[in-house]
Structure 1
Amino acid sequence: MRAQKPWLSLINKIKLIVMVVITVCLWAVFIAVQVPWMQGIVVWLAAITLATFIVSVSCATLEQGLDALELGLQNFKDGEFANQLTYQRADQLGWLCTLYNQTAEQLRREKQWIHQRELMLDKVLESSPQALLLINSNGVVVFSNLSARDLVMSNTRIEGLHLNQALEHAPAELQQAIGSAQDGLFNILNTSEEVQTWHLSTGQFLLNNQHHKLFILKQLTRELNRQEVAVWKKVIRIISHELNNSLGPMSSMLHSGKILSQGLNEPRLQRVFATIEERIKHLTAFVQGYGKFAKLPPPKLELIDWQSLINELAQQWQFVAPDSVPSSACYADNMQLQQLLINLLKNAHESGSCADKICLTIETQGRGVIVSVTDGGQGMSEQVMANALIPFYSTKATGSGLGLALCREIVEAHHGYLSLHNIYQQTEVVGLQVKIFLPCSDLPTQQCDSQV
């Protein structure tokens, strides 16, 4: 409720009291000594004028201080704490003004600190990878961050819109999950035909005496993939350990058997030994291949020379090279990147595609590089595409199921992502495209120092 300024100020009240006291005293004296009424009026007016003048002069400093306090409190009311009072007299009012100035300075510092914290909080919330939606009791969006606007496919701010309007262009799975308002996991098929796993958590609280609901959506696709790969690596290490424990004695016994059978002229025995040796070599290569996946070292970042990399790949595989390469600096592990592209080009040739249909493209996109390998093969069915990146999964009779899994591991070690897309001509699949996004981050300072 807004306070109203009283019509009679303190100084005017003092003047009125003085006038009343003088009037009562003078008329009592006039009555006692029987002063003529004309003279009494003149004396009374002179006394009133003199008293008013004396009170005005005496209370001028008091009025100045009170006006200063009034102005300062008006500033407080408007949330302005930067102004200071200039009343500096050594009296009680001066002490009040000094106390006011000290309070204003403290409030100004606290306001500045709170403002900085609000800016920091707003920056954190706006740039958070988690999608945040705050809805009031009327179902209107009062806050959304950038991730939330991207998730609901909105190019503009959605504050002030009803939740149903804000979700109008959002995926149906997201609308259903938010509509149920229950914590849990759900999947979204994005525009790149990738299945993303999201976790929704909700909360309710009072804000400005009004009930609000907060939706927090976190993408778990990468985390689930990381956990899945970690489990597979553990299984691979156990299998590799057991196989190595058996292959060592088998190789030793095979060598001993060859020595003991040197005097025997038995061709069938030689074929048995040759078969066993061939299978031991195959199992050894098998174990080494899986061990390479399970123990992939962290990438050693260096500046990538795309043209040199393309020339090296062209010596091993036939493909249509890109017309141009990105000019922006990109840091990655050159050996791992080369192994990644070798695997993809090998798969493209094994897809049954003609060599002139296999294309490698490299282009800049945002703060990263998109590397694509396209072939003219038969593409992938939904079931194969859903399992293609899982270790051990292969549709080839002699495949190890490690090629694409190793590619994904290399890409994610560089904080990028890999995706598979069928190429359609009308309704017929005419090929497969593998897309890789690599962020073009600067080389870390500590790594630069170590390389220097």
Structure 2
Amino acid sequence: MALLSYFSLRTKLILGAILASQVGTGLSMLLMQQLIHPQTLIGTSSFVFVLILISAGICAWVISHLATRTLATSLDALEVGLLNFKDNDFSVTIPVGGDRQLQALTTLFNESAETLRQERQYIYQRELLLDKVIQSSPNVMLLLDDEQRIIYANNAARHLFNKGVRIEGLNLLTLLESVSDELSRALQNPKGGLFSLAGSEEGEDETWHLSRGQFLLNGQYHHLLLLKQMTHELNRQEVAVWKKVIRIISHELNNSVAPIASMVNSGRMITRELNDPKLSMIFDTIEDRTNHLSQFIFNYARFAKLPLPKRSAVDWHKLTEQLAQHYSFKLLGELPESEGSLDLIQMEQVLLNLLKNAHESGSAADGITLSIEASKLVDGTSGINIEINDEGSGMPPEVLKQALLPFYSTKQSGTGLGLPLCREIIEAHDGRISLHNRDDVGLCVRVWLPSNEA
């Protein structure tokens, strides 16, 4: 029995057919000779007997070989197909043939192969989609093993830690040697949470949130680190709170200012015949301060109720000509050939405010420059870069960090809403604004706006 295990199924069937034919033929011959010529049984020619057995065996082999050819072909095809399955190749199909059972078996194999092909294609497409989403995410993602070796990192992580170069396979501790101390301490802390990094040229500290996760895969623990920059989101929430406060205060003040203005007019009419200079001075003072308070409320309400941008085509040449009618500046470089898609009124208000600040910085008029040029970010996003430079006194670091916050002003009569309003308008255009002191003298205000078709 052990010897038979080395033979294929087809060989076993052929051997079985030959053996059965030999035994059947031999028994038939002995029975026939016993019945027909019992007295010649012993004298029968052995040569004829052997010749008949050999002929019967050959016939049995030929017939069984032809009969099992389809079975052998199907079994070989199934074996090759299953070996391809083992190698994760599901492209093979088997021709359907043979008897009903073989046809059912090969049909089931082909259906299984088709299902596996579809499942693999679906998984492959999902993996591509997931990888595309992760690589496009602005959040930093790192996947580590128990040895703190980086298994996976997205583009944001590569740019944060290694200037866009791949970091898979590196050790996290080795990688942290080239980053800031604040970031290194945050990543080596076993707990997540908020932490701050010193700002670059914007002069504003960056707030980040670190979250950690751990899961078991293939018997090995993996550690997931997620870093999300919260500066923009926190600023939006802060501004939203300020807007709510402004709306409440404006509502209450308006409820008081309106009756006061009405009573002043009524008082003037009642005391008109008295012709008392003191009363006129009192009413004039009340009216003047009421108008001033109304204008004060209007300016803050404008910040709190800033409408969404209404984009339209903007001709940069016409825009710079309109700006030059209000404030002088030197235009540097060539203007973009393509038109922008912006809210012209809001953007003109932003640039006028920035030019006004430049003229009030103590800079000479010929030292104020404006440049508008097409630019492209590292990730390939196209946009417009606007820079306003002056030769004034610049800003101290503590002022630079708070210049974009509402109500913060170093001017005696300032409302602290000029730059915050500019920031709100620019961010509503999906852009950003940054302030930093120039290397030699003065301040540089940089505005970046994404390109949008009109």
CA distance in 1, matches of 2:222, 2:282: 77
Structure-2 residue corresponding to 1:399: 414
Measured after TM superposition, the shift of residue 51 of structure 1 is 3.2
Q: 2:433 matched to 1:434?
A: no
Structure-2 residue corresponding to 1:287: 297
Letter of the structure 1 residue corresponding to residue 7 of structure 2? L
CA distance in 2, matches of 1:114, 1:302: 43
Contact 1:65 1:94 in 2 (8 A): no
Structure-2 residue corresponding to 1:53: 62
- Which is worse superposed, 154-163 or 298-307? 154-163
Structure-2 residue corresponding to 1:450: none
> How many correspondences in the alignment?
434
Pick the aligned partner of 2:135 from 126, 130, 137: 126
Question: Please, what TM-score do these two structures have when normalized by structure 1?
Answer: 0.88
SS of 1:156's partner is: coil
Contact 1:154 1:169 in 2 (8 A): no
* Structure 1 segment 7-406 matched on structure 2, within 5 A: 7-18=6-17, 33=42, 45-192=54-201, 193-264=203-274, 266-366=276-376, 367-406=382-421
Letter of the structure 2 residue corresponding to residue 89 of structure 1? G
Contact 2:375 2:385 in 1 (8 A): yes
- Which is worse superposed, 29-38 or 153-162? 29-38
Summarize the Cα distance change of 1:164–1:359 in structure 2 as closer, same or farther, 3 Å threshold: same
Structure 2 unaligned residues grouped into runs of 5+: 32-41, 377-381
SS of 1:69's partner is: helix
Letter of the structure 2 residue corresponding to residue 53 of structure 1? V
- Over the matched positions of the two proteins, sequence identity in percent amounts to 47
SS of 2:332's partner is: coil
SS of 2:142's partner is: strand
Contact 1:131 1:145 in 2 (8 A): yes
CA distance in 1, matches of 2:26, 2:187: 85
CA distance in 2, matches of 1:177, 1:23: 86
Letter of the structure 1 residue corresponding to residue 443 of structure 2? L
Contact 1:133 1:148 in 2 (8 A): yes
Structure-1 residue corresponding to 2:379: none
- Which is worse superposed, 164-173 or 79-88? 164-173
Measured after TM superposition, the shift of residue 151 of structure 1 is 2.1
Measured after TM superposition, the shift of residue 87 of structure 1 is 3.2
CA distance in 2, matches of 1:421, 1:244: 38
SS of 1:372's partner is: strand
Over residues 117-143 of structure 1, what are the superposed CA-to-partner deviations in whole Å (9 max), with x where a residue is unaligned? 222112111112222111122222121
RMSD (CA atoms)? 2.5
Measured after TM superposition, the shift of residue 43 of structure 1 is 5.7
CA distance in 1, matches of 2:147, 2:263: 79
Over residues 173-213 of structure 1, what are the superposed CA-to-partner deviations in whole Å (9 max), with x where a residue is unaligned? 22222211422111223442442211111111122222111
Summarize the Cα distance change of 1:400–1:113 in structure 2 as closer, same or farther, 3 Å threshold: same
Measured after TM superposition, the shift of residue 27 of structure 1 is 8.7
SS of 2:363's partner is: coil
CA distance in 2, matches of 1:240, 1:106: 66
Structure 1 unaligned residues grouped into runs of 5+: 1-5, 444-452
CA distance in 1, matches of 2:49, 2:194: 97
Pick the aligned partner of 2:433 from 415, 418, 429: 418
Contact 2:159 2:165 in 1 (8 A): no
Letter of the structure 2 residue corresponding to residue 10 of structure 1? L
Measured after TM superposition, the shift of residue 67 of structure 1 is 1.0
Rg bigger for which structure? 2
Contact 2:375 2:384 in 1 (8 A): yes
SS of 1:325's partner is: coil
Measured after TM superposition, the shift of residue 170 of structure 1 is 3.3
CA distance in 1, matches of 2:91, 2:73: 20
Over residues 86-116 of structure 1, what are the superposed CA-to-partner deviations in whole Å (9 max), with x where a residue is unaligned? 1322331221111111211222222222222
Measured after TM superposition, the shift of residue 41 of structure 1 is 6.2
Measured after TM superposition, the shift of residue 13 of structure 1 is 2.3
CA distance in 1, matches of 2:23, 2:43: 15
Measured after TM superposition, the shift of residue 12 of structure 1 is 1.9
Contact 1:329 1:440 in 2 (8 A): no
CA distance in 1, matches of 2:175, 2:453: 37
Measured after TM superposition, the shift of residue 374 of structure 1 is 1.1
Structure-2 residue corresponding to 1:449: none
Structure with more relative contact order (C-alpha pairs < 8 Å, separation 6 or more): 2
SS of 1:391's partner is: coil
Question: Please, what TM-score do these two structures have when normalized by structure 2?
Answer: 0.88
Letter of the structure 1 residue corresponding to residue 198 of structure 2? L
Contact 1:389 1:405 in 2 (8 A): yes
CA distance in 2, matches of 1:121, 1:384: 43
Measured after TM superposition, the shift of residue 21 of structure 1 is 5.6
Contact 1:152 1:171 in 2 (8 A): no
CA distance in 2, matches of 1:12, 1:85: 22
